[in-house]
Chain A
Amino acid sequence: MIELVWLIPILPLLGFLVLGIGNNKISKSIAGIIACGSILGAFLIVLSLLIPMLNGTLQATTISYFEWISTGKISLSFSFLVDPLSIVMMTIITGVGFLIHLYSAGYMSHDEGMTRYFAFLNLFVFSMLLLVMGANYLVLFAGWEGVGFCSYMLIGFWYKNQNYNDAAKKAFIMNRIGDLGFLLGMLLILQTFGSLEYSAIFSNTSNIVPNSNLIIAITFLLFIGAMGKSAQIPLYTWLPDAMAGPTPVSALIHAATMVTAGIYVIVRSNVLYNLAPATLEIIQFVGIATALFAATIGLVQNDIKKVLAYSTVSQLGYMFFAIGLGAYSTALFHVVTHAFFKALLFLGAGSVIHAMSGEQDIRNMGGLSKKLPITFITFLLATLAISGIPPFAGFFSKDEILAHAFEKSPLLWGLGLVGALMTTFYMFRLFFLTFFGTFRGTEDQKHHLHESPLSMTIPLAVLALLSTIGGFIGIPEVLGGNNWFKHFLTPIISSTHSESHLLSHSTEWILMGLSVGAVLLTIIITYIVYVSKKSIPSPDHSSEGVVHKLLSNKYYIDEIYESIFVKPMYQLSQLLHQFFDLKIIDGIVNGFGLTVNKTSARLKSIQDGSLGFYLFAMVGGIILILIFNTIL
């Protein structure tokens, strides 16, 4: 089956081309079939590779197709790499991608732009596959930019609304800032190793001095790229705004796949990162800071998608935290489980929004559990999973991260736990406010409440199943498993001390118990606040405490960026144009012309047109010539 690898990205690309070219002529249902079919086809091929990879009959393979950019010293080919890491990512992208496509067929069925929607969704899957399948950084970069572009098109999908377009633009530009870092990192790699092929780079690191400026620069530049794509401080503000896109887009791009590309890049480059502990320290710091920072904002948001968005930022922070601890496979494990439960949460939120005719404010919801039973149950499972309740998927990955943190220092473990508790709090707050209590929306909305169609509930059910059992691929030794997932990834992760547990089983048991207990306690508190006491978040503009105001305004980060970067840039632009360009530079150029003009005006006055003066000048001239001739 390995010969068919090229079909995996080509199928979605074909889907894009067919849908894109036949935009007007294809009916909605056919568009849905084409889009879902192409992804399903790709998924089946991925499965046919995954199974032999699991059996061990398929080894990591690089397939080179053609020379892409080659001149002088550089020779970059268009090639794919199939190994455990890329297979895991491909499985998520095509698998979760297929479910979300299926869901979209129901969710977007009322939208006139459905064909266009599916076209870009397919293009996104193509780009994302390119990103994870590339065997060198350049192909990865092609996918990297491609997903950024698709994200732009899909965030601004309802392009008549300029606010959405602003959000899309912001996402693209912020990503591009990261891309610049990534590009420079690539250039530095190319200069250092003379190649961008993974195989050539990772096997050639013997000359690199660990923790030298060079390797720190390379890894840090790549990390800047990851910050942009995976929404880490300081480049995270685009992700909450990106919720302007249709909800399935948020699920696919801004939760399950694209935003994890940054983690993928670093895990892929783990050989380099192991040589740069200083960068890992930075990543660890940025990761935990983002995790906590975003979680605090999430505590007070009232838009159902915004809560999930900040939750995503926070969870991504967790993944970087894990990477910073050197636990690459754990980070990837969390990527996998997060893809399941966060996609499910977004799709569930989409189902709720669908039922509420577009309403996104949780203060206007409530009591939906009876009207939307399937959504309710699946949402509950996902919430349990993200909170880290055993045996749901999130428990295993989060617990592993916390265990690694404790190895490093108990303080980090504490911070991680605080983040987890905040996550639990805002997720259950969201859950209780949405599904419990009494309905607080308008009569019109109440009348219209309905469970979503089958094409939407089936993906919910499948993802709920995965969120429940997905963690079993990585049961740690202490619980009697053998952490199969980690073993699967061993070939691509260069061993470091922190990959293997140093903690004794008893310590692990204690930690686990502590965190689960704290989480349960948080759930109970949340239950008391939002269900027993029925407290509802106050409406906007009401008088609130300073902290609450700070949080609900997201620490005013957007405003700060606006006044530090955006406005000065526009002012500078005006200044440069109006003053520097037109007055100074063009003034100098025109000055040359003006000088000639002025001189000629002076000389012109001599030539006043009077014949008498001309005669006089002529005679005077002759006399002068005579005099000069006699003298000289």
Chain B
Amino acid sequence: METALLIALPLLSGLLTFLFQENKAKQISFLISIATFINALYLAFNYCSCTLFNYDLNLNWINSLGIHFHVAVDGISLILILLTTLLVPLILLSTFQSPIKNAKSFYFLILAMESALIGVFTARDAFLFYIFWELALIPIYFICLIWGGENKNKITFKFFLYTLAGSLFMLLAIIILYLNNPARTFEIEQLYQVGRTLDFGTQAIIFWSLFLAFAIKMPIFPFHTWQPDTYTTAPFAGTMLLSGIMLKMGIYGVIRWLYPMVPLAFDFYAHYAIILSVIGIIYASIIALMQKNLKRMIAYVSIAHVGLISAGVFVGNEEALQGAIIQMFMHGINVVGLFFVIQLIFERTNALDMTSLGGIRAKAPLFTLFFIIILLSSVAVPLTGGFVGEFLLFVGIFQYHEIIAAVSGLTIVFGAAYMLNSFQKVMLGEANEKTENFKPLHLTEKMLLIPIVALIIIIGVYPKPFLKISEPAVKALIEIANSTIPLNH
């Protein structure tokens, strides 16, 4: 019941915003998101590691098709729920400084999206998962379409169609699994059993169908071309939602729905997925080196970082999976921090082109400090949150293949290059007419940056609680994936 409440809370109370005036919408929605976060924290503190799935709720929904409304929370879900419910208030906070047209709808859409995302991370029924998966797309589509920038119609349309096309493949895979399920349900546990009894060809179809859906969402090279455009065009809040939370849907999908589902095909094809991911790391890093537009640069950086996570997920040993999960969390924090930093700069200078900026450091030392810490975390310097996940991912990938680990390790060199390059261009040097009157941070901006920076340091120094949350769930998944594989292919 608690899970259903958590899912419903933002959406239903989000409707409240329509009862109030336009200029109250942001406060109301912020309060709602805080309430949701507190709710999630409550669930986290009462989370009992005695059983794998807490807060299980299983209702009949569409009996004739065996569809259940089945949601539950395990360690992996919990981490992602915490990430979602933490980031949404921060993202709402990021919009406080600039006026927004049609504020009620805007905030309602964000809250609706939060609901759908929590649904994705908790669903235990494939059909329900698919519903939430698509539901999450609708609000972000409107956010990008209505509040987006230049060329928004075309870019948003492409983004929508692209991800939708991916989801259709997922639907195909789900239907194949369902039709092969003698019990005719969409229950994930049963589908796990069904998946491993299929012959290799069918498993392969399911693998690649699911892979397409998840790969487009993350995105993995070469399915990434919607992403830089969309990140650049979307309003900042939309970009943060997309990069901070939404792309985790893809990684989560791989962990929960692909990795344990079709072991034969996974063992056979994971190698290709890993190679694609690693190509993506290098490819996106190299491209990021020369980007002038800050948003576009971070978009490519995000592809590189996600490539590492997805490589780890497809490697699928415990270190890599654990690293992927904590890195999902930290990537969310980092990327929202980075985009917020860019938004701050944009609001003050009206420029996204880094070559036209410079000298901000002298004007805003506190801001510089925050920026440096976020930057350090995103280039994975030890004792920041970014290091823990990246190190575990490297450990995991290294066990799988030394050369692949070495190649993906190049990210720490490239990471330093592109991050420091942009830092130097934006923050250092002499101030110019754009940056001369750079105002210091507002209270709401500090309220946003302080939690981000605090989390970066806390997780960097003491990641143990986070690792402990997801450990049993990861172990269980690995056990399922390695459980007896019928040899009838």
Alpha-carbon distance between A240 and B175 when the two chains are bound, in angstroms: 64
Q: Are B420 and A152 in contact (CB under 8 A)?
A: yes
B residues near A589, Cβ cutoff 8 Å: 158, 162, 225-226
Shortest distance between the CB of A572 and any CB in chain B (Å): 6
Once bound together, how far apart are the Cα atoms of A187 and B397, in whole Å?
A: 10
Q: Please, how many angstroms separate the alpha-carbon atoms of A73 and B478 in the complex?
A: 14
Are A191 and B399 closer than 8 Å at their CB atoms?
yes
In the complex, the chain A residue whose C-beta lies closest to that of B421 is A169
The CA of A376 and the CA of B224, in the complex, are separated in Å by 64
Closest 8 CB pairs of A and B: A72-B318, A142-B382, A573-B290, A586-B225, A187-B398, A159-B428, A71-B322, A176-B416
Q: Residue on B with the closest CB to A175? A: B416
Q: Which residues in A have their C-beta under 8 angstroms from that of B427?
A: 159
Instruction: Determine how close the nearest CB of chain B comes to the CB of A49; give it in whole angstroms.
Output: 24
Interface residues of A in 564-586 (CB under 8 A from B): 569-570, 572-574, 576-577, 581-582, 585-586
Q: Looking at the assembled complex, report how far the CB atom of A299 sits from the nearest CB atom of chain B, in whole angstroms.
A: 33
- Bound state CA distance, A581 and B412, in angstroms? 22
The complex places the Cα of A577 from the Cα of B286 at a distance, in Å, of 9
| 19 extra A-B contacts, CB within 8 A, seeds A68-B463, A162-B429 | A23-B365, A69-B391, A69-B463, A72-B319, A73-B318, A141-B382, A145-B382, A159-B362, A161-B429, A162-B428, A169-B417, A172-B416, A173-B416, A184-B398, A187-B394, A570-B289, A581-B287, A582-B225, A589-B158
Residues of A contacting B429 with CB < 8 Å? Answer: 159-162, 165
Given contacts A183-B409, A585-B225, contact A169 B398 (CB under 8 A): no
Knowing A67-B464, A162-B429 are in contact, say whether A191-B319 is a contact too (CB < 8 A). Answer: no
Instruction: Name the interface residues of A56-83: CB closer than 8 Å to any CB of B.
Output: 66-74
CB distance from B216 to the nearest CB of A (A): 10
8 Å CB contact of B381 from A149, A165, A183, A184: A149
With A and B bound together, what is the CA distance between A191 and B225 in angstroms?
A: 37
Measured between beta carbons, the chain A residues less than 8 angstroms from B471 are 71
- Interfacial chain A residues near B194, Cβ < 8 Å: none
Per-residue CB contact flags for chain B residues 404-432 toward chain A (1 = under 8 Å, else 0) read 01100110110011001100100111100
Q: In chain A, what residue has the closest Cβ to B320?
A: A72
Q: Complex formed: what's the CA distance from A569 to B391 in Å?
A: 26
Could you tell me the distance between the alpha carbons of A179 and B462 in the complex, rounded to whole angstroms? Answer: 23
Do A574 and B222 touch (CB < 8 A)?
Answer: no
| Chain B contacts for A574, CB-based, 8 A | 290
CB distance from A392 to the nearest CB of B (A): 39
Residues of chain B contacted by A71 (CB below 8 angstroms): 318-319, 322, 392, 467, 471
CA distance A101 to B311 in the complex (A): 46
Kindly state the interface size class of chain B when it binds its partner. 35 or more
A-B contact pairs, 16 of them (CB 8 A): A66-B462, A71-B319, A74-B392, A142-B382, A149-B381, A156-B428, A159-B429, A173-B416, A173-B420, A184-B406, A187-B395, A191-B398, A573-B287, A577-B287, A589-B158, A593-B158
Residues of chain A lying within 8 A (CB to CB) of residue B417: 169, 173
B369 contacts chain A at the CB level, 8 A cutoff: yes
Known: A180-B409, A183-B412. A74 touches B225 (CB 8 A): no
CA gap between A145 and B377 in the complex, in Å: 12
Choice from B322, B365, B412, B420 contacting A180 with Cβ under 8 Å: B412
Is B388 interfacial (CB 8 A cutoff)?
A: yes
* CB of A188 within 8 Å of the partner chain: yes
Q: Which of B322, B382, B394, B461 has the most CB of A within 10 A?
A: B382
A187 to B403 Cα, complex, angstroms: 12
CA distance A576 to B395 in the complex (A): 29
Enumerate chain B residues within 8 angstroms of A145, measured Cβ to Cβ. 381-382
A116-B369 Cα distance, complex, nearest whole Å: 11
Find out whether the CB atom of B424 lies under 8 angstroms from the CB atom of A169: yes
Q: Is A146's CB within 8 Å of the partner chain B?
A: yes
- Determine the residue in chain A with the shortest Cβ distance to B319: A72
- The distance in angstroms between the C-alpha atoms of A572 and B369, with both chains bound, is 33
Given the known A-B contacts A20-B369, A576-B283, A577-B287, are A183 and B394 also in contact in the complex, defined by CB atoms under 8 Å? yes
CB <8 Å contact, B287 and A160: no
Give chain A residues whose Cβ lies under 8 Å from the Cβ of B383.
142, 146
CB distance from A41 to the nearest CB of B (A): 22
| Contact, CB under 8 Å: A165 / B162 | no
B402 CB within 8 Å of chain A: yes
Q: Are A149 and B376 interface neighbours, CB within 8 A?
A: yes
Q: Which of B121-160 contact A (CB under 8 A)?
A: 158
Instruction: Compute how far the CA of A70 lies from the CA of B395 in the bound complex, rounded to whole angstroms.
Output: 12
A190 touches B413 (CB 8 A): no
Would B289 and A569 count as touching, CB distance under 8 A? Answer: yes
Asked if A177 is at the interface (CB within 8 A of a chain B CB), the reply is yes
User: A residues touching B (Cβ–Cβ < 8 Å)?
Assistant: 20, 23-24, 66-74, 116, 138, 141-142, 145-146, 149, 152, 156, 159-162, 165-166, 169, 172-173, 176-177, 179-180, 183-184, 187-188, 190-191, 569-570, 572-574, 576-577, 581-582, 585-586, 589-590, 593
Q: Is the interface of B mostly helix, strand, loop or mixed?
A: helix
Q: A179 vs B402: C-alpha distance in the bound complex, in angstroms?
A: 16
- Mask: chain B, 304-340; 1 = CB below 8 Å from A; 0 = not: 0000000000000111001000000000000000000
Smallest CB separation, A127 vs chain B (Å): 9
The CA-CA distance from A577 to B9 in the complex, in Å, is: 43
Q: For the complex, give the distance between the alpha carbons of A138 and B395 in Å.
A: 12
Q: How would residues 198 to 235 of chain B score, 1 for a CB under 8 Å from any chain A CB and 0 otherwise? A: 00000000000000000000000010111000000000
Q: Which residue of A lies closest to B391 (CB)?
A: A69
- Which has the most chain B C-beta neighbours within 10 Å: A70, A72, A159, A576? A72
Instruction: Assess whether A146 is in contact with B318, with CB atoms less than 8 Å apart.
Output: no
Query: Which residues of A sit under 8 angstroms from B462, Cβ to Cβ?
Result: 66, 68
Residues of A within 8 A of B392 (CB): 69, 71, 74
Q: Is the pair B359, A160 in contact by a Cβ cutoff of 8 Å?
A: yes
Contacts of A70 in B (CB 8 A): 464, 467
Q: Which single member of B222, B289, B405, B413 contacts A177 (CB below 8 Å)?
A: B413
Hey, which chain A residues are within 8 Å of B421, CB to CB?
A: 169
Whether A570 contacts B402 by the Cβ 8 Å rule is no
The residues of B that contact A572 with a CB separation of less than 8 Å are 286
Contact string against A for B residues 365-398, beta-carbon threshold 8 Å, 1 for contact and 0 otherwise: 1000100000010000111000110011011001
**Neighbouring A residues of B224 by C-beta, 8 Å:** 585
Closest to B396 in A: A72
**CB-based contact A169/B420 at 8 Å:** yes
Of B161, B290, B365, B402, which is in contact with the most chain A CB atoms at under 10 Å from its CB? B290
B417 to chain A, nearest CB (A): 5
Minimum distance in angstroms from A197 CB to a CB of chain B = 15
Q: For the complex, give the distance between the alpha carbons of A308 and B377 in Å.
A: 34
Cβ of B361 < 8 Å from any Cβ of A?
yes
Task: Tell me which of B158, B291, B391, B421 has the highest count of chain A C-beta atoms within 10 A of its own C-beta.
Answer: B391
Question: Nearest Cβ in chain A — how far from B148, in angstroms?
Answer: 19
B395:A569 contact, CB within 8 angstroms: no
Complex CA–CA separation, A561 to B301 (angstroms): 25
CB proximity of B31 to chain A, nearest CB, Å? 30
Q: Assess whether B398 is in contact with A576, with CB atoms less than 8 Å apart.
A: no
CB contacts (< 8 Å) of B289 on chain A: these are 569-570, 573
Instruction: Indicate the member of B225, B288, B392, B402 with the most A CB atoms within 10 Å.
Output: B225
Whole-angstrom distance between the Cβ of B221 and the nearest chain A Cβ: 8
Residues from chain B with Cβ under 8 Å of A141 in the complex:
382
A624 to B359, CA, bound (A): 77
Contacts of B376 in A (CB 8 A): 149
In the complex, what's the smallest C-beta–C-beta distance from B401 to chain A, in angstroms?
11
Query: What distance in Å separates the Cβ of B363 from its nearest Cβ neighbour in chain A?
Result: 12
A223 to chain B, nearest CB (A): 16
Chain A minimum-CB-distance residue to B366: A23
Residue numbers in B under 8 Å from A160 (CB-CB): 359, 362, 428-430
What residue of chain B has the Cβ atom nearest to residue A574's Cβ?
B290
Q: With the chains together, A152 CA to B317 CA distance in Å? A: 36
Q: A74 contacts which chain B residues (CB < 8 A)?
A: 319, 392, 395
Q: Across the interface, name the chain B residue whose C-beta is closest to A178.
A: B413
Residues of the A chain whose Cβ atoms lie less than 8 Å from the Cβ of B283: 576
* Chain A residues with CB below 8 A from B410, complex form: 180
Does A188 contact B365, Cβ atoms closer than 8 Å? no
Q: Are B463 and A187 in contact (CB under 8 A)?
A: no
